[in-house]
Amino acid sequence: MKCKRVETFLSRSLDGLLTGQEKAALEEHLAACSPCRKKRDEYVFIAETLGDDDFPDINPYFWERLQPRLKESKKYAFWSEWKQWSLRAVPVSIIAVVSLVLGLALFLPQTGDELSQTGDLLLRNTLPLPETVTLLEAETGENKSMQLIFMAMEEKPDLRRYFP
Amino acid sequence: MEEKRLVERSKNGDEEAFGVLVKKYKTKVFNLAYSFTRDRETADDLTQEVFIKVYYALEKFKFQSGFGTWLYRIAVNHFKDYLRKHAKERHVSIDSLGREPSLPEDEFKKKERIQDTADRKKLLYESLRSIPEKHQVILTLRDIQGHSYEEIAGILKLSAGTVDSRLHRARKMLRKKIAPFLSQEGGNHEM
C-alpha cells in the first residue's frame, strides 16, 4: 500500500468505514512506515480534540427572549417582503419593457413605401392615362422617349441601379 | 406531541407549538453556532436569529426532509453568512499564536510553546478557521457535532460520496496546517 492511499484510509478509519481487509492492510503498512504513523497520530489528535469539544450552557430564558423578537420581526415581515419583492420587480420590469420595445421594433410589420405616382392616381380613382397623354403629346419622339424613361425611373428608383 | 403536528400548528401561527420545537432544538443549534464562532454571546444571538428565520420560513417547509434536517440547513447557511461577513476580523494567523510579531523566533521554541494543552487546542481551532469555509462546515458537522454521513448529506444537500471525499480533504488540509506545530516522531498528542 502506498503512503498516499494510507492517508485516505486513516481518515476513513476515524469513521469506522474500513473493512477488515483494509484495516489489516493499514496496520501492516503502519507497522513498517514511521511517517504514516506520525500522520495517524495527527489524525487521532484532530478527531479526539474536536470530538471532545465542550460547549457552554445556552443563556437562560432563551424562549422568553425569543418571543418578543418574533413579534417584533412580524411587524417588519410585511415591509421586508415588500422590499424583497420590489427589489426583484425593478430589474424584471426593466427587462420586460426593453424586451417589449425590441419585440415591437423587430416583429411589427413595417409601414409600406409611399405610393408611386400611378398608384396614387389609381387610389384617387383617377386614370393615369391623361398623364401619359400629356407626355405623348410632346413634340419629338426623342423627347417622348426620354421623358418616359425619366418617369419610369422616378416611379421605380431601384431601376437606377446597375445590374451586370 | 408528534413533531409533524407541532410543525403544522406552528405553520398556522401557533407560537406555543413553535416554542416546543425551539425547546427541543435550541441546544443543538446553539452548540453548532458555538462551534463556528467560539463565542457564547454571538452563538446565542445567532441561534435566536436562526429561529426567527425558521419561524418565517415555515410556510415554505413541505416535509420533503425531516424538520431537524431543514432547521440545520437554515442554521448552517446562516452561520456561513456570518463567517463570510466576519472573515477578516476572525482571521488569526497561526504563526502569530502566542508570539510577538516583531520578535524573530526559531521553529523549535515555537513548537515547544504549543506543547501546552490549551495552546494546542487553540491552534487546532485557529487552523480550522483558516481552511476554506466548505471544509470548515463539514468538519464541524462531522467531527465536532458528530452527525452521520447521511445527516450531513441531507443538511448540505450533497451525495454521500461527496461528503466522504470532502471530509477527507478537509481533514488532510487541517492535518497539514497543524503538523509542523505538533511533536515529532510518534508524538504524544494527549490533551
**For residues A97 and B158, what is the distance between their CA atoms, to the nearest angstrom?**
39
At B103 the pLDDT is 42
Position A112 in a domain: no
- In chain B, the largest separation of any two C-alpha atoms, in whole Å, equals 64
Architecture per CATH, domain B1-90, reads as Orthogonal Bundle (1.10)
Say whether B146 and A51 touch across the interface (CB within 8 A): yes
In chain A, the number of structural domains is 2
Phi-psi region of B166 (alpha: psi -120 to 50; beta: other; left: phi over 0): alpha
Entry pTM: 0.68
Position A102 in a domain: no
Position A24 in a domain: yes
C-alpha dihedral sign at A104, A105, A106, A109: positive
All CATH 1.10.1740.10 domain ranges in chain B, comma separated: 1-90
- Closest chain A residue to B43, measured at CA: A58
CA dihedral B138, B53, A70, A57 (to 10 degrees): 0
- Judge whether residue B185 has pLDDT over 50: no
All CATH 1.10.10.10 domain ranges in chain B, comma separated: 92-191
Nearest-by-Cβ selection for B48 from A46, A51, A69: A69
pLDDT tens string A84-93:
788 888 889 9
pLDDT tens string B30-72:
999 999 999 999 999 999 999 999 999 999 999 999 999 999 9
**For residues B182 and B127, what is the distance between their CA atoms, to the nearest angstrom?**
13
Optimal mutation site among B175, B176, B185, interface A, most CBs of chain A within 10 A? B175
Q: Model confidence at B186, in pLDDT bands (50, 70, 90)?
A: very low
Taking alpha carbons only, the member of B190, B165, B189 closest to residue B179 is: B189
At B115 the pLDDT is 60
- Closest chain B residue to A38, measured at CA: B186
| CA A24 centroid distance within chain | 54
Range(s) of the domain holding residue A34: 3-51
Nearest-by-Cβ selection for B143 from A47, A56, A66: A47
B92-191 CATH: 1.10.10.10
Mean pLDDT of A100-114: 79
Does this complex have an ipTM over 0.85? no
